Structure 1
Amino acid sequence: MTRTKAVAWAGGASYLLVVGLLVGAAPRASGTVHGVGALLAVSLLAGVVRRMPLLALAMALFGSTAVVVGPPSSAHESRAASYQGQFLSYLAADLVLGFIVATCARRASTVAVAVSFTVQLLVIGGFAHGDSLAVNGVIALLALAASCMAGLLSRERREHAVALRAQEVAEAVTAERLRIARELHDMVAHSIGIIAIQAGMGSRVIQTQPTEAREALRAIETTSRETLSGLRRTLVSLRQADRGATSSEQSPLAPSPGLADVEQLAAATAGAGVRVDVRRSGEQRPVPADIGLSAYRIVQEALTNVVRHAGTGRCRVAIEYGDEELSVEVVDDGRGASEHDSDHGFGLIGMRERVGLLGGRLSAGPRPEGGFRVAARLPLPAPVGVPVEAR
């Protein structure tokens, strides 16, 4: 930081030195040479512009004014032509002004524009005469306006980029919140539903059928542990994302559930009093983790609704591995869904969101012959061909 500051101050001192040489050591050079020289010398102020733009503007205005009001130029050049060339030096101040408009606060930019305009107007009015007064005044005004417009366009582009970035961050946060809400709803709702049913059954038979009561308590314990494990996985992931934990601080987490865990889910549902018939068809193969997790959660939510709302003792889960899509269907022969059941409706929203994020299709509703049907079709990525070695 100190070295950068020293370089900036060295550049500012060099700029003043170059301007002094143009005014004092080359008095017979043409006004155009003075103007172009001052314009090129402004590059020495790059470090000052980045650190102290207002000071850089003051130095550029001082140097440009010194070039204009300095000694007269070559004797072979008229005084009007001399001044017309020397006024080019104010383009250097205009460049610095454009940077200020693009990067500094609006109040500072307004003050800088007013000061620059006033200085240039006074100098041109005092040293330009006749036709050159109008010409140089118009040129100076156009150059100042062009630099301000370029600065404003740069500021608006940067502010627009910042706004887009903030919008992307907000959308990402919202999407993550929805994902977490879906995960917690699907996981907790299913487990709490099974626990409630097992607890109710155990309390009814604890006196007459202690063996059945013990089985209910075991199911409650197993379901509770699985739910706690899932909650821990979700919470640890959130804490690691918030703190930016390093790999050495991360604890090993259980993998997310997938299609391979559907049978275990069916067994837990059977413990709650609903027998689940799982059928698989097609060429069974590994699917991407996000598709497997979404399919599992859809089955889980559908089974939760069967346990809580269908009033039946059995249902069917069909999983079909197609060439281009994975089909999941959960069908029961119960009493169907209630339109006023808020829990069921909320679960359907979560299922639709999961399927929509993967570009799939979901249909859910009562069947004409009775019961309820949930069917999801999730597109699968195209298989990558593996070349076979010739023998």
Structure 2
Amino acid sequence: MRTDRALFRDSLLAAALAAASVALFVAGGNGGVAEAVLLAAGYLPVAVRRRWPLGALCAAQVPIVVFAALHMDPGLAGLTALIVLYTVAAHRGLAVALSGLAVSAVGYVTALALAPPTMTWPDHAMAALIGLAVWGTGRSVRLRRAYLEELKDRAARLERARDADTRAARAEERSRIARELHDVVAHHVSVMTVQAAAARKVLTASPELAGEALSAIEETGRLAMNEMRNIVGVLRTDSLPGPPERRPQPGLRDLPALVEQMREAGLPTELEVEGGGPVPAGVDLAVYRLVQEGLTNSLRHAGPGAHARVSVRQAPRELSLVVEDDGRGPGDSPPGDRTGHGLVGIRERVALYGGILRIGPRTGGGFEVRATFPLKDG
């Protein structure tokens, strides 16, 4: 459609130039009908100048040479050559544009050799300057058009890159929230399941103990709901007026409460913490979630009579921790029991902060989770 409109406009321009040139030719009484038809045909290259620029330029030289050989006034034929020369320079590459300039020079020199010597050297110099100016204008337009296209393409690439970064950030945020939800739900549901099983066993024999277990289940459920509200609050921050009401994320300071919760759930657990000092917030949360997932893993799979131990050591440049139990090893558990989605999420957390993680059987029986996080100096 765009090509058809350009062809239509160029055809109108060619017709207007032909009509004006023929009118001047007839008014001057320079020849007959055949010469007028030849003069009008000389403007046909203007109609196809965008489709075949170089061919149209070659065709535009023909009437100039013919009229020079017949010693007749070419009228506006020179203007046709300039228009097509501009088109070649503006719409084709440098090599074709230089070829068009050479074609124009050859046509001009040929016509000059055939025509009577009526022009002076200043006239030839002016004609050459006009031709070079038209050609240079066409090249400038082409370069500017290419520059604008490059700017548009660069803007489009930047827009696509920004969209890709936005999608990656959203995916990372969804992954982070999914890890948080999994850690919270898996831990608290595991504790509640163990407590419910204990309550069922002692429900008839010792209603008081069953009541205590049910109270613990209630408290654990309340804690799970609070933590889930905190996490979901992150998602709703942009849609709710006012600042979100959330507690601080858990960290090293909350390990004693976590260990006590595991003891109440029936898993005897020891906690040993060495060293102290500020820890980056991300590492602080990652350590807590790792211990939480490790103990939840032990509570689920270590079996009755198992003991767990948590050891955290903070040095100036690194923080190391171990979560181990003396229960059933991987060989005594169903395949995949000890390496579910929670431990996969832990791997992602540790890798995010440049840490090293080892998950596997413990020497002497049982299972262990070991991790080391690098800490910045100072």
Shorter-chain TM band: 0.5 to 0.7
Tell me how many residue pairs correspond in the alignment: 260
Matched, 1:369 2:364: yes
Q: Which of 297, 316, 323 is the matching residue for 1:323?
A: 316
Which residue of 2 is the match for residue 172 of structure 1? 169
Q: Does 1:183 align with 2:175?
A: no
1:212 to 189, 209, 213: 209
Q: Choose from 237, 253, 268 the match for 1:240.
A: 237
Q: Deviations over 1:330-370 (max 9, x none)?
A: 01111123473267321111111101111111111112321
Unaligned runs of 5+ in 1: 1-82, 95-112, 115-128, 384-391
What CA distance in whole angstroms lies between the structure 2 residues aligned with 1:313 and 1:211?
A: 25
From 369, 374, 378, the counterpart of 1:379: 374
Q: 8 Å contact 1:273–1:313 — kept in the other structure?
A: no
CA apart distance, 1:160: 1.3
Contact 2:320 2:372 in 1 (8 A): yes
What SS class does the counterpart of residue 237 from structure 2 fall into?
helix
Q: Which string of whole-angstrom CA distances, capped at 9 and with x for unpartnered residues, describes residues 131-159 of structure 1?
A: 74753453233222211211121112111
Alpha-carbon distance, 1:251 to partner: 4.3
Cα distance in 2, alignment partners of residues 327 and 271 from structure 1 = 26
- Which residue is 1:296 aligned to? 288
For the pair 1:354 / 2:372, whether they are aligned, the reply is no
Question: Which residue of 292, 295, 301 maps to 1:309?
Answer: 301
Counting aligned pairs with the same residue, the percent is 36
* CA deviation map 1:230-249 (0-9, x unaligned): 011111221113x2x45xx2
Give the letter for the 2:159 counterpart. Answer: V
CA distance in 1, matches of 2:338, 2:131: 78
Q: Does the CA-based 8 Å contact 1:361-1:376 persist in structure 2?
A: yes
Residues of 2 paired with 1:255 and 1:310: CA distance?
A: 31
Report the residue type matching 1:151 in the other structure: L
The residue aligned with 1:201 is: 198
Instruction: For 1:293 and 1:174, locate their aligned partners in 2 and report how far apart those are by CA, in whole Å.
Output: 20
The 5 A counterparts of 1:154-169 are: 154-169=151-166
Alignment partners' CA distance in 2, 1:339 and 1:148:
68
Q: Which residue of 2 aligns with 1:340?
A: 335
Q: CA deviation at 1:271?
A: 1.5
Q: Which segment is superposed worse, 336-345 or 182-191?
A: 336-345
SS of the residue corresponding to residue 344 of structure 1 reads coil
Could you tell me whether the CA contact under 8 Å between 1:219 and 1:268 is conserved in 2? no
2:183 touches 2:342 (CA, 8 Å); kept in 1? Answer: yes
| Aligned counterparts of 2:195 and 2:334: Cα–Cα separation in 1 | 26
Of 148, 152, 155, the match for 1:151: 148
Provide the TM-score with structure 1 as the length reference.
0.62
**C-alpha distance in structure 2 between counterparts of 1:191 and 1:344, whole Å:** 18
Distance in 1 (alpha carbons) for counterparts of 2:321 and 2:360: 15
TM-score, normalisation: structure 2: 0.64
Task: Give the corresponding residue for 1:272.
Answer: 265
Larger radius of gyration: 2
In structure 1, how many angstroms separate the alpha carbons of the residues matched to 2:309 and 2:180? Answer: 23
Structure 2 unmatched runs, 5+: 1-78, 93-106, 110-127
**Deviation (angstroms), 1:201:** 1.0
CA distance in structure 2 between the partners assigned to 1:331 and 1:238 by the alignment: 34
Amino acid at match of 1:266: V
Instruction: Tell me which of 274, 277, 280 is aligned to 1:281.
Output: 274
For the 8 Å contact 2:328–2:366, the answer to whether it is kept is: yes
Secondary structure at the counterpart of residue 159 of structure 1: helix
Contact 2:301 2:338 in 1 (8 A): no
Local SS of the residue matching 1:376: strand
Which amino acid is 2:300 matched to?
Answer: R
What is the root-mean-square deviation of aligned Cα atoms in Å?
Answer: 2.8
In structure 2, what is the Cα distance between the partners aligned to 1:355 and 1:274? 25
SS at match of 2:372: strand
Q: Using the alignment, how far apart are the partners of 2:246 and 2:302 within structure 1?
A: 35
- Partner Cα separation in structure 1 for residue 182 and residue 354 of structure 2: 21
Counterpart Cα distance in 2 of 1:262 and 1:142: 73
Aligned mates of 2:269, 2:338 — CA distance in 1: 22
Paired residues for 1:218-257 under 5 Å = 218-241=215-238, 243=239, 245-246=240-241, 249-257=242-250
> Which residue in 2 is equivalent to 1:49?
none
Q: Does the CA contact (< 8 Å) of 2:192 and 2:217 recur in 1?
A: yes
Residue equivalent to 1:72: none
